[in-house]
Chain A
């Protein structure tokens, strides 16, 4: 594999890693706040 191609692939992989880390971090945050909101909504009923 050419060096340029490898560098491109490495950059693309870094982008994918960053994107998926942020995605799963937001899923975790959604669960955290979601359950607090859920309890609030239930208490307001």
Chain B
């Protein structure tokens, strides 16, 4: 009789893991790498947030108060780069690392060493970017959009900017490939595509977006680099190049990037609302198709960011109408979330509170986006604080609140302990109130004509700037509660069982809390999968 070998991964069923620094530097475990991504994102969130405080401090009163204009412009540029590439994107990748293998019934990510490499690129990329603050000429100050010819005037920090963008891009592409390969190849038998949780679906679509657009950004900055150092004239009009071409290429990346930042939040909200409504998600398949439609449309709307450069009427109409079309699948999602709550048995724990704030406030950002999509109106709003208000409503109560909702939802699973619900509720209310004090007045400032990216302004804008700055300081301070709540949870939270929330469904809730080092060494049975996929 042939000898029966145990499955290759059987020895991993024990919870043994490397200890000390080796556990983190050589990490190949999806949970360890997820934790590192989340800690990195949180650190960047506070660094980027500190830069936002500098911006709001300078804008508290008209006139130059604390920083010179060059440094102010560096702050706006670095704040955007750090928040987008350092906080939100790694934050989502951290959540993907933690949750996707657990949710699809896999023991780990498909390519664990690549996963380690993707993460460890990031600290180098951001050390490089942040160290540009200390080189002659200061950090990049031409805006995160890096438009030529302005960006070509950047001093010694220019190659640092380009190289750090390349590193961030490489990290994102490798991370995205790992996620696609994991979802397509590592699902447990019986975990069909239409049984996958919405978070997994939204990440699958996000990963396809990343693979398609991050190389485009890398190509664009490579061309900037050769224009700067090797005498090419891709974007230099004097040599026959076209600076507007850069804007087209940049926004071909930039608009899908917006959806890269928000789609995983859609997935998380689609997990949380059913749990705290104690009802299955309304219209699961419609939600999947809506996310896919939004992703598709994101590729054909880029020029709405650049209506004022001058383009044929037909192009303006096309980009205006295609942009407005995005409201349809987004409306489907908002309708389905609301319908999920309809006649549900609702409760308002912190994840649900953040999800509800997401629903209301992201919709406000969506509406102002529709206003900006209208070409003649956009001519008025272009480069004003109205645009700043719009994208911060989408990204702060959208992406950031979505991420916080996700962390508050899954933290008990990760740690095996419940956090201080009262303190987290305080965190929610302070965030929800002050995010509006911070960003809502910026709509008024923009409509009144205050331009963005300026360190000084006309006196008639003073009052709303003061209100906005007060909101900014209070919002920033209230975020300090977040790491404290997590720290307290890890150290002294009350122990909980497998299912932290009464109405939670999904494979992750079938595992113990905290889950074993390798999640599903034996694939879950079909009955367990069916119980998890209660939509």
Contact = CB atoms under 8 A, between A and B. Distances in A.
Interface residues of A, number: 26
Contact of B240 (A6, A7, A33, A43): A43
B223 A39 contact: yes
Interface string A9-37: 01001001100110011011111111110
Interface stretch (B30-38, B178-186, B412-420, B502-510): B178-186
Interface in B2-57: 2, 4-8
Contacts of A33: 219
B57 to A, nearest CB: 39
B242 interface: yes
Contacts of A35: 215-216, 219-220, 249, 252
B111 A17 contact: yes
B110 interface: yes
A42 B214 CA distance: 21
A10 B110 CA distance: 12
A6 B216 contact: no
Given A3-B4, A6-B7, A39-B234, A31 B177 contact: no
B177 A42 contact: no
Contacts of A17: 110-111, 181, 185-186
Nearest to B249: A35
Contacts of B110: 17, 21
Interface in B203-233: 211-216, 218-220, 222-223, 233
B173 interface: yes
Contacts of B252: 35
Given A13-B185, A35-B220, A39-B249, A29 B177 contact: no
A21 to B, nearest CB: 5
A16 B176 CA distance: 17
Given A17-B181, A43-B241, A28 B214 contact: yes
B180 A32 contact: no
B179 to A, nearest CB: 10
Residue with the highest number of chain B CB atoms closer than 10 Å, among A34, A35, A42: A35
A28 B215 contact: yes
Q: Mostly helix, strand, loop or mixed at chain B's interface?
A: helix
A39 B216 contact: no
Contacts of B240: 43
A20 B223 contact: no
A2 to B, nearest CB: 8
Nearest to A40: B234
B534 interface: no
Given A20-B180, A20-B181, A39-B249, A3 B223 contact: no
A27 B185 contact: no
A22 B241 CA distance: 34
Residue with the highest number of chain B CB atoms closer than 10 Å, among A17, A21, A25, A28: A28
Contacts of B177: 21, 24-25, 28
A16 B321 CA distance: 41
A43 B238 CA distance: 12
B185 A16 contact: yes
A8 B110 CA distance: 17
Contacts of B212: 27, 31
Nearest to A36: B219
B245 interface: yes
Contact of B111 (A21, A27, A28, A30): A21
Contacts of B114: 21
Contacts of A28: 173, 177, 211, 214-215
Given A32-B218, A35-B220, A42-B242, A24 B234 contact: no
15 contacts: A3-B4, A10-B7, A20-B180, A20-B185, A21-B177, A24-B176, A24-B181, A27-B211, A28-B211, A28-B214, A35-B215, A36-B223, A42-B242, A43-B240, A43-B241
Given A32-B219, A39-B234, 9 more contacts: A7-B5, A17-B110, A17-B181, A17-B185, A20-B184, A24-B211, A27-B211, A32-B215, A35-B215
